[in-house]
Amino acid sequence: MATVTQKQQLFGHAPSNHYLDASHGVMSWIFTLDHKRIAIMYMYGVIASLFLAGIFALVLRTELYTTKQWFLTSAQYNQMFTLHGAVMVFLFIIPSVPAIIGNFVLPMMLGAKDVAFPRLNLASLWLYWLGGIFFIVVLATTQLDTGWTFYTPYSTSKSNTNVIAATMGAFILGFSSIFTGLNFIVTINTMRPKGMTWFRMPLLLWGLYSTSIIQVLATPVLGITLLLLIVERTLKLGIFDPNYGGDPLLYQHFFWFYSHPAVYIMILPAMGVVSEMLAVHCRKEVFGYKFIAMSSVAIALIGFLVWGHHLFTSGQSDLTSLVFSAITFSVAVPSAVKVFNWLCTMYRGDINLSTPMLYVMSFIFLFGIGGMTGLWLGALSTDIPLHDTYFVVAHFHYVMVGGTMTALLGGLFHWWPKFSGRMYNEPLGKLFCFFVFVGFNLTFFPQFIMGSLGMPRRYHEYAEIYQIYHQASTWGAFTLGIGIFGAVMVLVYAWFFGRKASGNPWGAATLEWQCSSPPSFHNFEHRVIVSEPYDFSSVVYDESVDGYVPVIPKREATPNQQPATVPH
């Protein structure tokens, strides 16, 4: 009997004394060093940013329902899309998967008690808040109309809006991102448990590791660029401003040296989440584990060499454009390696069409389209007419929203039992996933068409022929909005009223499922049993905990019979 109780304590639903219950009061959250609580607080911020910037998006789409000006002036329209972009990029997408799912799951996947530097982790969260405050200042004052890219010389000498507060906010958020990345690299390097070699790590850790490399290597360059921009605007340095002998193109090089790798900061952790969920919900070992792992690293490294494809029409030399175009194509190889391996994993798998799995399938479909259209934009001949049209807008939304946001939502559903100790409502989860998928495609697929017809991005008014696409897109945006809002509400409801979850409801083999749900303050009350990450025979269903428990590997007893011949 006692073993059953112990089993329930270790691998079942934690009745009390878990991390949410370990201490109480606001201060116990603001000053916590617990990676799980930090992840939860990141989640509040990230979801709030998603809703805020999502409302901006809906306002924009509503305004674009008509061909002429409706309720926003051109200046207001500029500010609205700038803030939509800036908030989505800096406050939502970049921190989303690493800061929420990564922070929560990464140490537990390693069987560790925390990340290597818990205080640095908290500092990262505080910097995130501080950066967010700067964006609130921007909203409350003269706003921002430069586009999220802050291109010079408009941002340094022309714009009358609060460029300094916005760039300061982005600068601070950059450090938040660096701290998270640094922490993850060190944690993965030094805190793996005995028996977990590099190639026995769950694929999410490979995704987060590659992401962290980019965060550490690229973000400082953004930092110095934004700092120079601020000084340029206040002191008229003359580094970017041609009026004083500066070079505005230099800004674009600096900016995209960070911001192109940054799109891989957005997508690589999402790919890791997808690999993880795919294996569990297909109950099949990941096909081509090493290829998926190494393709993450390859994307991270090649991603540093392609920034010039943002400058094809900015006046860089033809030869440079040609080289950047060629390197850009090479990113497609590791991306395709991933997609093919995912499909092969699904092939003949025992596919469980749960909500996370539906999000995974949406991800593969949408990322497929987003990735392929990237090739059109990487090719010089097609990029020239498509540059700065809605085609580009549709492309990066397919990758960022269709990719990252879908994976984030799926990941939240997948790990929600671990976060909250509760199961979500499966039919409602699926319903809103359907809304997200349909709404997303209805929003952005018409944008491919109107982009290829020549509709330029960032325009407030447009010609009659594009109206049908714009209207479809607006309807789609509201459907998508309902889907996201509904999905979040399903999760919120589950947090309070959901059915109690056991430690391992999915039967996953990675270590974060080897503890109670929600986990205790120290994550594990026992020594973890390291197995292959996708060896589903290492867990077995146990009725007493209403979930899966790890199988303790059989230890062979030492043979006790005498050998036939005794060596001398």
- Binding interface with other proteins (CB under 8 A): 1-3, 5-7, 10, 107, 112-118, 120, 178, 182-183, 185-187, 189-191, 216-221, 223-225, 228, 231-232, 235-239, 241-242, 244-247, 250, 254, 522, 524-527, 529, 552
Nearer to other proteins, 245 or 559 (CB): 245
Q: Do residues 295 and 206 touch, judged by C-beta distance below 8 A?
A: no
| Residue 560 beta carbon to other proteins: minimum distance, rounded to whole angstroms | 21
**Contacts with 317 (C-beta within 8 Å, 6 or more apart), sequence order:** none
How near is the Cβ of 148 to other proteins at its closest, in Å? Answer: 19
Complex with other proteins: residue 254 or 396, whichever CB lies closer:
254
> Residue 315 Cβ, how far from other proteins at the closest point, in Å?
13
Report the alpha-carbon angle 9-12-18, nearest 5: 65
- CB neighbours of residue 5 within 10 Å: 11
Query: Please, what is the minimum distance in Å from the beta carbon of residue 164 to other proteins?
Result: 17
Query: 253 or 387, CB closer to other proteins?
Result: 253
Report d(CA 187, CA 169) in Å as an integer: 27
DSSP 198: G
What are the tokens at 199? 């190639």
Cβ 165 to other proteins, closest distance in Å?
21
Residue with smaller CB distance to other proteins, 113 or 283: 113
Please say whether the beta carbons of 545 and 7 come within 8 A. Answer: yes
From CA 431, how far away is CA 413, in angstroms rounded?
13
H or E element in which residue 422 lies? strand 422-423
- Give 106 or 477: the residue with its C-beta nearer to other proteins: 106
- The dihedral through the CA atoms of 355, 91, 176, 128 has a sign that is negative
Residue (236 or 387) nearer to other proteins, CB: 236
> 154 or 376, CB closer to other proteins?
154
Q: Encoding tokens for residue 553? A: 């590997």
Task: Please state the closest distance from residue 263 (CB atom) to other proteins, in A.
Answer: 18
Closer residue to other proteins (CB): 97 or 549: 549
Show the beta-strand stretches assigned E in 260-315. none
Residue 326 token pair: 């060629």
Q: Phi then psi for 63, rounded to 5 degrees?
A: -60, -35
Distance (Å, rounded) from C-alpha 260 to C-alpha 264? 7
Nearer to other proteins, 353 or 540 (CB): 540
Q: How far is the CB of 255 from other proteins (least distance, A)?
A: 11
Nearest approach in angstroms of CB 418 to other proteins is 19
* Closer Cβ to other proteins, 253 or 283, answer by number: 253
Q: Are residues 345 and 292 in contact, defined by beta-carbon separation less than 8 angstroms?
A: no
- In order, the DSSP letters of 66-113 are SSS--SS-HHHHHHHHHHHHHIIIIIIIHHIIIIIIIHHHHHHHTT-S
C-alpha angle 343-306-251 in degrees, rounded to nearest 5: 140
Distance CA(110)–CA(196), nearest Å, equals 8
At 15 the three-state DSSP class reads coil
Nearer to other proteins, 158 or 458 (CB): 158
Nearer to other proteins, 218 or 292 (CB): 218
Intra-chain end-to-end CA distance of the chain, in Å? 50
Can you tell me the distance from the alpha carbon of 361 to that of 343, in angstroms, rounded to the nearest whole number?
A: 10
In the bound complex, what is the minimum distance in angstroms from residue 232's beta carbon to other proteins?
8
Minimum distance, C-beta of residue 328 to other proteins, in the bound complex (Å):
22
Strand pairing report for 539-542 and 422-423: unpaired
* H-run or E-run covering 546: none
Output the CA–CA distances (angstroms, integers) from residue 432 to 80, 423, 475, 506, in the order listed: 27, 16, 16, 21
Beta carbons within 8 Å of 239's beta carbon, 6+ residues apart: 228, 232, 246, 247, 250
Neighbours of 339 (CB within 10 A): 17
Kindly tell me which of 271 and 515 has the beta carbon lying closer to other proteins: 515
- Counting every residue written for the chain, the total comes to 568
Distance CA 120, CA 100 (A): 16
Minimal distance, residue 555 CB to other proteins, in Å: 10
Closest separation between CB of residue 108 and other proteins, Å?
A: 12
Q: Identify which of residues 232 and 383 has a Cβ nearer to other proteins in the complex.
A: 232
Q: From residue 144, how far is each of 124, 219, 545 by CA, in Å?
A: 25, 22, 54
CB of 552 to other proteins, least distance (A): 5
Q: How far is the CB of 233 from other proteins (least distance, A)?
A: 11
